[in-house]
Amino acid sequence: MFLRTVTRLPLLSRNFATHAGSVAALPAAMHLKTGQSFFGRSFGAPRSVFGETVFSTSITSYTESMTDPSYRGQILVFTTPLIGNYGVPKNTAPFDSQDVGVILESKGIQCSGVVVCDVAEKFSHYSAVESLSSWCQRHDVPGITGVDTRAITRLLRDQGTTLGRLAIGPDAELPAPQPEEYWDPSVENLVAQISATEPYTLNPGGDVKIAVLDFGAKANILRALVRRGASVTVLPWNFEFNTIRDQYDGLFLTNGPGDPQHCMEAALKLRTTLEQWNKPIFGICMGHQVIGMAAGLDAYRMTFGNRGHNQPVLALASAGSIRAGRVYVTSQNHQYALKLQDPFPQGWEPFFINCNDSSVEGIKSTAESGKKVWGVQFHPESAGGPLDTIEMFTDFLQECRAHKAEAAGEKVSHTMETAKAAPRVAVSSASA
């Protein structure tokens, strides 16, 4: 028997009239599979959708979050009450050898829908060309406003990420769907839907050649590599990298949507790479999870994940620009994490843990392993969020350059750890 809760928010509906005066005020409902319903007004596309309902504590960067491919299949609840006040910029840049042709994180809106307490139809920013509502409309993505996002977030924190439905217009008057009618994006391989289908190269003249396995890359990851001088070849997520690996100086694994189990094929291929190839490897979010699975760690589904731009992580080891014992504030968007197990697989160690929930935020190969492999659950490339860890890209590329020079017979000093120069912070498995 499902508990049915129905919430209406009269005060915020009045605010809605102020901020969203020009929006066609269709009724909208947000239903959760667990039986709660919230009623408000629609903005954006007049279309009903299903999705996995998640919340983000980010205060700004709704445009970057909504274009992050890792939000695919999700209905995104913003805990910040007023969203849309700086509008949306034109999302096109020259697609040339230096950039991927967008200002935001991908070409279009990736989440299935958005949930806002009070959408701002009036916007003001020098780069804005349209409102959040008109952008959503053009991309056929619905939004609901005038709902109590604090109440929704508290529910999601208690019961965990929950399947949901945004019912717009006449659909909002219909009864909530039956539990079995909810669509669950985690059963689909969302990575296969969003990954590049053909390889392509950015900055072909770069001095180090980096292969990127694309699980649903945020544009800023590719920019971060290109801006630091790398030649970046983007490959489909399940590409047979082992057949071409000797052409590259390093391998990068990107973020991506959905359950990492769908990427086990990539993890098994990576296991062979790890066994036979000694060049630097760096992975972010889904990429980190794939590295972990290749190393023999398990990935599990968290209750409500971590989404926001204010997630503190503690470094347990020093490497490159990262110092053991220091806390870095990070941008995050994930539902799954690697299990902290004791002992860690041979040749691996935890690199970061989350200061709020003690989940694994990074892993690295040990100095003794002779490998240079790192994965982080957070997003050093930001967009949006803090840039505390952006130099990890510099560290990675410097290590690739050092390996390349060493292979050419030059004497080099490595930027990342050497066995003695890496202080560590002890972590007990009780914090798993």
Ligand X SMILES: NC(=O)CC[C@H](N)C(=O)O
The binding site for ligand X (CB under 6 A) comprises 70, 255-258, 260, 285-286, 333-336
Q: Closest distance between ligand X and the C-beta of residue 381, in Å?
A: 11
Q: Closest distance between ligand X and the C-beta of residue 190, in Å?
A: 8
Decide if 288 is catalytic: no
The answer for residues whose C-beta is within 8 angstroms of residue 414's C-beta and 6 or more apart is 372, 399, 402
Among the listed residues 170, 154, 163, 133, the one whose alpha carbon sits nearest the alpha carbon of residue 7: 154
Selected catalytic residue, list 105, 121, 381, 417: 381
Counting DSSP H helices and E strands in the chain, the numbers are 9, 24
Cβ closest to ligand X, residue 39 vs residue 78: 78
Q: What backbone torsions phi and psi does residue 168 show, to the nearest 5 degrees?
A: -115, 145
Cβ closest to ligand X, residue 256 vs residue 350: 256
What letter represents residue 375's amino acid? Answer: G
Decide if 381 is catalytic: yes
Decide if 285 is catalytic: yes
Cβ closest to ligand X, residue 218 vs residue 403: 218
Residue 298 Cα distances to 294, 336, 339, angstroms: 9, 10, 6
Q: Closest distance between ligand X and the C-beta of residue 334, in Å?
A: 3
Selected catalytic residue, list 379, 400, 403, 417: 379
Q: Closest distance between ligand X and the C-beta of residue 70, in Å?
A: 3
Q: Closest distance between ligand X and the C-beta of residue 379, in Å?
A: 7
- Residue 7 CB-density burial (10 A; 0-12 exposed, 13-18 middle, 19+ buried): middle
> Quick one: tokens of 102?
């967008």
Cβ closest to ligand X, residue 160 vs residue 169: 160
Selected catalytic residue, list 285, 288, 309, 403: 285
Among the listed residues 219, 299, 301, the one whose alpha carbon sits nearest the alpha carbon of residue 266: 299
> Quick one: tokens of 252?
């990068």
Cβ closest to ligand X, residue 44 vs residue 362: 362
- The dihedral through the CA atoms of 155, 33, 299, 200 has a sign that is negative
Chain residue whose CB lies nearest ligand X? 285
Positions marked catalytic: 285, 379, 381
